[in-house]
Amino acid sequence: MVLNKKILNIILFLLFANYGYSQNKRIDSFKALIKTTDSLELKASLHGSVAWYNLARDLNLSQAHLDSSYAILSKIEYPKGLAQLNYRYAVLFRLKGQYKKALNYADKSYAYNLSQKDSFLMANDLFQKGVINSIKGDYKTSLKVYYNILEIYEDMNNPKSIGMTLNSIGIVQKNLEQYNAAIKSYNRAINTLKDTKYKNDLANAYGNLGSVFYLKKEVDSALKYLNVARELDKELDYSWGLSLNSYNIGEILIEQKEYKSSLVYLEEAYEIQKRNNYNTALSETRTALGKVYLKLGNLAKSERFLKEGLTNAPESKKALRELQFNLYDLNKKRGNYRSALSHYETFFAYTDSIRSKENTEYAKDLEAKYQSEKKDKELAKQQLELEKQQLELEKQQSKTRLMTGLSIALLLISVLVWFLYQQRQKQKNQEIITLKREQQVKTLETLMEGEENERLRIAKELHDGVNVDLSTIKYKLTSLLEKNNEVINEAVTMIDKSCEQVRAISHNLIPPALKNFSLIEAIEDYIGTMNTIHEPEISFHHIGDSIQLSKKIEINIFRIVQELVNNSVKHANSNEINVQASHRDDLIQLTIEDDGKGFHKDATTGEGIGLRNIKSRVDYLNAKMDFDTGSKGTSYIIEINTSELN
Amino acid sequence: MVLQGIQSMLNGNEAIEIVGIYINAQETLQHIEKDNPDVLLLDINLPDINGITLCKELKSIIEDLKIIAISNFDELSFVKRMLKSGANGYLLKNTDRLELLEAFKTVLSGGTYLRKDLQKKLLGQTASGLKTKNGLITKLTRREHDVLLAISEELTTQEISEKLFISPKTVETHRMNIMSKLGAKNSVGIIKIAIENDLL
């Protein structure tokens, strides 16, 4: 749980840091995160990071942060953090010059990393030890350590670490005055680093090479390489390296007695070192500046620098020795012989001490520090980079996977939704169509029913009422007929006619055969009647099976025939009308044909309306109507599928 | 009412005696044998049983009973059915004494009595184009004629349907109708009979 939170926070701050902030902003972000985070482990780590960042700037601030980190770590169980802290303490105390403490911490860190079998971190610890030993003057041990480390790095194929180690080896060799060996090492370092991005280490190598050449008294080569190093430093904005190389060049130029030019470089070095609190290096530069101003005859300035050097005296005996000597020289020039003598005695004491113990302590101190500090920083940065990259990668991967999954799911869902929607639409449309049709049918049925009912009513009334009365009257009259009364005869004839008409109307309205017998017989009756009444010759044929359907349907068909024949009789002016009904399988085919004059299909007169009526009856039957009209006559063909009836 | 009317018409005639009056089929069946009339005036529209069915039944009971149907319906369908059921005559309810007597005379002498106009109607129906042996064939409709021509041109059903702008099913119906009308058994027969009768 806590670990997850830590990882989350790391991700957060890495992402935050990923916006390419400069170093300062990064530290600010770290500091902000220290305040806000709940994770103790993360807090401790962040203190460590801030401390690490300040190692090159402000050692006291750095130590403060390391102490904060320790305060947290001592309360929680986080051995890895503790080991890292120990390592940083080692570096801090080394830079401060407290070598015993430094070695102590380095051992602690090494012990943990050994238990974890982390060869990379083990190498780091060893490197620190190597540097410290080298500074202490234990060159043999330190060389051994360095070669150990070099092997580890060569296994890991890490050019940066290889380069750095070679640099360090070179420094030791230089200190042992094995100048050619040193030059070899440095060249190796340069070759390893030349085409990589590790320009800082490359600058170091060049600087180192320059120093060695100087020691070999090959001034031109020395200056050449030192300048190359300096240019790289400038490019990289690497203050530490720049100050050191400028200092070295300054020193060389002093030797060459080019004091004015030397001053330029020394001033540059001094300025940088002062700004960044590089105290150990600063004392050397002060000494050098003191020397130069003395040579140039600017006693005041010379004294100022030398005095500064005294007040800020480092632990290193060599530095102090140099100072003393220069103070002696200054006082000599000034004519303060007493002071001069006292200074010289101090100087001599130092010389002895150094010669016996740490003769080149300072040089190593500087150079080794120069190496290791850079290296430590780089290593840590590297680690951080790796972690960052890893997390980034993982995050990217999972992000991509998630996005792909989501988009596929989304796509599928939207397709499904669209599809379902379409289905629903179709269904709805289907329902609407069905409803409409049902509505239509219902309307038609209602209309037709109404019509039929009306006809039935009239027919009944005529049949039962008027007709009966007329018949009765006729009977009564005929019994009077014996008297041979002409008037009565006429009356009787008239009544007959009325009866006929009434009957005709009644039966015309509701064909009795339809109710009692069959459709075909009804049609036959109707045609027969029409034939008698009207001019044209109307014929009817029935082909195929008999027709037996629901009364509603049969009435409908009858009405169609009635209407069409009526039309033909009234408007077509024909001689012959042919009516035909065939029933085979499920198909009833009605044909009504005349040889009249035809008519316009689009007539909006009574004919048109009559046709519409027929059309709606045809629709009710789900039937097809085909009609044709011309000079030859008119013909209607209606096809009814009995399996498709309502 | 009708009964009264007829009664009054016949009352004056000495030659005719009314032996029985029945108001429904039941009564008729019960008393007919006992009464044994020569002629029965039978209304088609009886309350209980259809007059047509009753007629058939009566005829099966008394074979030589003469039955004259009386009805308000002058529809041929009714006439035909009654005659088919064995009726010997058909009268309308608005008949008169003269007609009644005429009907009786015809029927008793073994004939079938039908009013002139009914006769005409009946003949008119039968005459209009039933197939007879001397080549009188039912007339083809115009559409049927088109189809016949197409068949003679050896077109397939599909081709005919495309040519005449009708559905193949319709073409088939026409073809069947033609076959029925001409009395052919297949397409070949159609052509043959058509040619024989100058239809092509």
pLDDT over 90, % of chain A: 14
Q: How many CA atoms lie within 13 A of B84 on its CB side?
A: 8
Contact A522 B77 (CB under 8 A): yes
Instruction: Compute the average pLDDT of residues A347-372.
Output: 69
Instruction: Compute the average pLDDT of residues A229-247.
Output: 86
Highest mean pLDDT (candidates A120-134, A140-154, A536-550, B32-46)? A536-550
Same domain, B95 and B155: no
Same domain, B89 and B183: no
User: For B76, which of A468, A525, A591 is closest by C-beta distance?
Assistant: A525
- pLDDT for the residue numbered B129: 44
Q: Where is pLDDT greater, at A55 or B81?
A: B81
Flag whether B137 is in a domain: no
Chain B hits for A584, CB-CB cut-off 8 Å, are 173, 176
Chain A hits for B176, CB-CB cut-off 8 Å, are 544, 582, 584
CA distance A335 to A74: 59
Flag whether B133 is in a domain: no
Question: C-alpha angle with apex A355: A351 to A359, nearest 5 degrees?
Answer: 100
pLDDT greater than 50 at residue A21? no
- pLDDT for the residue numbered A531: 83
CA distance A473 to A498: 12
The model's pLDDT over A264-321, given as tens digits with 9 standing for 90+, comes to 899 999 988 888 877 777 888 888 888 888 888 888 888 888 888 888 766 666 777 8
Same domain, B108 and B161: no
Flag whether B132 is in a domain: no
Contact A529 B75 (CB under 8 A): yes
- pLDDT for the residue numbered A359: 52
CA distance A41 to A76: 8
Number of structural domains in chain B: 2
Same domain, B102 and B63: yes
Flag whether B168 is in a domain: yes
Instruction: Say if residue A406 is exposed, middle or buried (CB neighbours under 10 Å; 0-12, 13-18, 19+).
Output: exposed
Question: C-alpha angle with apex B51: B48 to B57, nearest 5 degrees?
Answer: 95
Instruction: Compute the average pLDDT of residues B32-50.
Output: 84
pLDDT greater than 80 at residue A10? no
Among all residues of chain A, which has the CA nearest to that of B165? A626
Chain B hits for A478, CB-CB cut-off 8 Å, are 9, 96-97
Q: Where is pLDDT greater, at B81 or A316?
A: B81
Q: What is the pTM of this model?
A: 0.47
Contact B5 A472 (CB under 8 A): yes
The model's pLDDT over A519-560, given as tens digits with 9 standing for 90+, comes to 999 999 888 888 877 888 898 999 999 999 998 899 999 999
Q: Which amino acid is at A70?
A: Y
Give residue B140's pLDDT band: very low, low, confident or very high (50, 70, 90). Answer: confident
Same domain, B102 and B191: no
3-state SS of A396-442 is: HHHHHHHHHHHHHHHHHHHHHHHHHHHHHHHHHHHHHHHHHHHHHHH
Instruction: Compute the average pLDDT of residues A33-54.
Output: 82
A459 CA to centre of own chain: 84
Q: Which residues contact A417 (CB under 8 A, 6 or more apart)?
A: none
Q: Using CB atoms and an 8 Å cut-off, which of residues 193-252 of chain A contact chain B?
A: none
List, in order of start, the domains of chain A with CATH numbers.
535-644 (3.30.565.10)
Give residue B117's pLDDT band: very low, low, confident or very high (50, 70, 90). Answer: confident
pLDDT over 90, % of chain B: 24
CATH number for the domain that contains residue B150: 1.10.10.10
Write out the residue range of the structural domain in which residue B16 sits.
2-127
Q: Residue written as tokens 């929680």?
A: A76
Give residue A54's pLDDT band: very low, low, confident or very high (50, 70, 90). Answer: confident
Contact B177 A580 (CB under 8 A): yes
Final residue in a domain of this structure, among B92, B127, B162: B127
- pLDDT for the residue numbered A382: 84
- pLDDT for the residue numbered A407: 94
Q: Where is pLDDT greater, at A207 or A370?
A: A207
- Is the CB of B159 inside 8 Å of chain A's CB atoms? no
- Is the CB of B35 inside 8 Å of chain A's CB atoms? no
Strand-pairing partners, residue A588, are A583, A640
Final residue in a domain of this structure, among B127, B153, B180: B127
Q: Residue written as tokens 């077509």?
A: A572
Q: Which amino acid is at A248?
A: N
Among all residues of chain A, which has the CA nearest to that of B130? A541
**Which of B72, B79, B170, B180 is the mutation pick for testing A, counting most A CBs within 10 A?**
B72
Same domain, B157 and B106: no
CA distance A163 to A173: 15
Instruction: Compute the average pLDDT of residues B128-157.
Output: 76
CA distance A391 to A388: 5
pLDDT greater than 90 at residue A423? yes
Q: Using CB atoms and an 8 Å cut-off, which of residues 566-585 of chain A contact chain B?
A: 578, 580, 582, 584
Alpha-carbon gap: A623 to the closest alpha carbon of chain B (Å): 12
Mean pLDDT, chain B, integer: 84
Q: Residue written as tokens 């082909």?
A: A543
Instruction: Compute the average pLDDT of residues A75-102.
Output: 86
Flag whether B63 is in a domain: yes
Return the sign of the alpha-carbon dihedral for residues A168, A169, A175, A181: negative
Among the listed residues A268, A244, A266, A267, the one whose alpha carbon sits nearest the alpha carbon of residue A254 = A266
- pLDDT for the residue numbered B157: 92
Q: Using CB atoms and an 8 Å cut-off, which of residues 525-544 of chain A contact chain B?
A: 525, 528-529, 531-532, 537, 539-541, 543-544
Mean pLDDT, chain A, integer: 83
pLDDT greater than 90 at residue A178? no
Contact B173 A470 (CB under 8 A): no
Highest mean pLDDT (candidates A41-45, A364-368, B98-102, B133-137)? B98-102
Same domain, B6 and B90: yes
Contact A475 B6 (CB under 8 A): yes
CA distance A88 to A105: 8
pLDDT greater than 90 at residue A645? no
Instruction: Compute the average pLDDT of residues A334-339.
Output: 85
Chain A hits for B51, CB-CB cut-off 8 Å, are none
Same domain, B88 and B162: no
The model's pLDDT over A586-641, given as tens digits with 9 standing for 90+, comes to 999 999 999 988 876 665 555 566 777 888 899 889 999 998 888 888 999 999 99
Strand-pairing partners, residue B91, are B70
pLDDT greater than 70 at residue B154? yes
CA distance A543 to B176: 9
Same domain, B98 and B28: yes
Q: Which residues contact A323 (CB under 8 A, 6 or more apart)?
A: A283, A286, A287, A290, A306, A309, A310, A313
Contact A470 B2 (CB under 8 A): no
Q: Using CB atoms and an 8 Å cut-off, which of residues 460-499 of chain A contact chain B?
A: 463, 467-468, 470-472, 474-476, 478-479, 481-482, 492, 495-496, 499
- Is the CB of A459 inside 8 Å of chain B's CB atoms? no
Among the listed residues B97, B94, B96, B42, the one whose alpha carbon sits nearest the alpha carbon of residue A469 = B94
User: For A467, which of B72, B117, B121 is closest by C-beta distance?
Assistant: B72
Instruction: Compute the average pLDDT of residues B74-96.
Output: 87
User: For A503, which of B12, B72, B80 is closest by C-beta distance?
Assistant: B72
Chain B hits for A582, CB-CB cut-off 8 Å, are 173, 176-177, 180
CATH number for the domain that contains residue B80: 3.40.50.2300
- Is the CB of A511 inside 8 Å of chain B's CB atoms? yes
Same domain, B120 and B153: no
- pLDDT for the residue numbered A357: 63
- Is the CB of B13 inside 8 Å of chain A's CB atoms? no
pLDDT greater than 70 at residue B46? yes
CB A127, CB A165: distance < 8 Å: yes
Chain A hits for B97, CB-CB cut-off 8 Å, are 478-479, 481
Give residue A20's pLDDT band: very low, low, confident or very high (50, 70, 90). Answer: very low
Contact A478 B176 (CB under 8 A): no
Same domain, B10 and B97: yes
Flag whether B180 is in a domain: yes
- Is the CB of B138 inside 8 Å of chain A's CB atoms? yes
User: For A582, which of B93, B97, B177 is closest by C-beta distance?
Assistant: B177
Same domain, B61 and B121: yes
Highest mean pLDDT (candidates A156-165, A225-234, B91-100)? A225-234
Question: What radius of gyration, in Å, describes the C-alpha atoms of chain A?
Answer: 61
